Amino acid sequence: MDIQAFGERVIGNLEIVIVGKHQALELIVVGLLCQGHVLIEDVPGVGKTMMARSLARSLDCTFNRLQFTPDMLPSDVTGVSIYNQQKGEFEFRPGPIIGQIILADEINRATPKTQAALLEAMEEHQVTVDGVTHTLPRPFMVLATQNPIEYEGTFPLPEAQLDRFLLRLRLGYPSVSDEIRVLDDQQLRHPIESLKSIVSTEEVLAAADAIKQVFVSPAVKLYIVELTSRTRQSGDVYLGASPRGSLALYRTAQARAALLGRDHVLPDDVKELAVSVLAHRIIVSPAARLRDLGSDRIVQEIVYNTPVPGGAFAPETDRKAGGKSK
């Protein structure tokens, strides 16, 4: 399967709605290929929710939206068993988490108890209600949004919840020319109204399986583990990234290489993804916080100070063929 063409189709469709954010859209597609979950963290009004809605429309998948509020209960997420008097038995009424593309809007407004209802679904792709386990459909992807500026009425995501997110990304404000284009595009109606589905469920699953075949050399694997290990050894970090972080960096690097038309991972793939994959998985030490040192900056410094491996990174068959691989 041509992953590069697949990615270009999806990103091109998303860019009809989301203007000037190619790198962020590339990360969204990386998350889709890895069957992982993405945390979109930014200020209000920059298109976080619209990005999630646009992805759902671009795929031939079911879409459910969870608008988190402090009074939500776990059963509002997972579903509930209701007694049917006619049948004389309990029936399961599925909650909005049982779908394929799930938008968890303002996830940090839910209480920790309700946030915990997402843990099993995000990690094991199943939910358990009243002792009965219900398997979630494939593909399954949670796109969560949160506002990092407003803290009143919010509950910070616990470390276990953050670790379930494959990637964290920020959109940022558009440039002047991009913002003018947004005004022009929405003069008569919103572009999302005309957005069509361009990728089938089968294609998404085939692409997700295909990226697992991308070759990762032993040197690159060692580089991935070295980066993750250094987050645990840094004096600015109270708690470093877990082995789940190494696996996330490994899988996302495979997806990025495939999107760029390669059958092997380069150290550059790992470097480009390190902040998005690792920064939200570490806890910054109190001393570093006093110096106004954030997790993104810490990971950037670790990447800068970690020696990049050299040598051949392509499969041996490609090297014998004269390096024809892209």
Per-residue confidence in pLDDT tens, the chain, 326 aa: 789 999 999 999 998 888 888 899 999 999 999 999 999 988 888 888 888 888 888 888 888 888 888 888 888 888 888 888 887 788 888 888 988 889 988 888 888 888 888 888 888 888 888 888 888 988 899 999 888 776 666 777 878 888 889 999 988 888 899 889 889 988 888 888 888 888 888 899 999 999 999 999 999 999 999 999 999 888 888 888 889 999 999 999 999 999 999 999 999 999 999 999 999 998 888 888 888 888 889 999 999 999 988 877 888 766 555 554 44
Q: Domain spans of the chain?
A: 3-207, 214-320
Q: Which residue's structure tokens are 């049917």?
A: 84
Read off φ and ψ for residue 230, nearest 5 degrees: -70, -25
Opening angle at CA 63, ends 6 and 170, nearest 5: 65
Q: What is the CATH number of domain 3-207?
A: 3.40.50.300
**Nearest-angstrom CA–CA distance, 10 and 198:** 7
Q: What pLDDT does 326 receive?
A: 43
pTM to 2 decimals? 0.87
**Nearest-angstrom CA–CA distance, 14 and 27:** 12
Q: By the 8 A CB rule, do 274 and 303 touch?
A: yes
Is the omega angle on the peptide bond into residue 218 within 30 degrees of 0, that is, cis? no
For residue 151, give the DSSP letter.
-
The Cβ of residue 316 has, within 10 Å, a number of other Cβ atoms equal to 10
Which residues 6+ apart lie within 8 Å of 244 measured at CB?
A: 163, 281
DSSP H helices in the chain: 3-14, 22-33, 48-58, 74-78, 112-124, 159-163, 176-185, 201-210, 218-233, 243-259, 267-278, 286-290, 295-305, 316-320
The Cβ of residue 223 has, within 10 Å, a number of other Cβ atoms equal to 22
Q: What pLDDT does 324 receive?
A: 45
And the tokens for 145? 């949004």
267 burial level (CB within 10 Å; 0-12, 13-18, 19+): buried
* SS3 readout for 183-243: HHHCCCCCHHHHCCCCECHHHHHHHHHHHHHCECCHHHHHHHHHHHHHHHHCCCEEECCCH
**CA dihedral over 21, 26, 27, 28, signed as positive or negative:** positive
Q: CA of 186: how far to CAs of 179, 183, 194, 274, 285, in Å?
A: 11, 5, 12, 35, 44
**Nearest-angstrom CA–CA distance, 159 and 177:** 38
Q: What pLDDT does 153 receive?
A: 64
Bridge partners of 129? 132
The Cβ of residue 65 has, within 10 Å, a number of other Cβ atoms equal to 16
SS3 69: coil
Q: What pLDDT does 253 receive?
A: 95
**Nearest-angstrom CA–CA distance, 208 and 46:** 29
For domain 214-320, which architecture applies?
Orthogonal Bundle (1.10)
Q: Which residue's structure tokens are 């953050």?
A: 162
Read off φ and ψ for residue 159, nearest 5 degrees: -60, -40
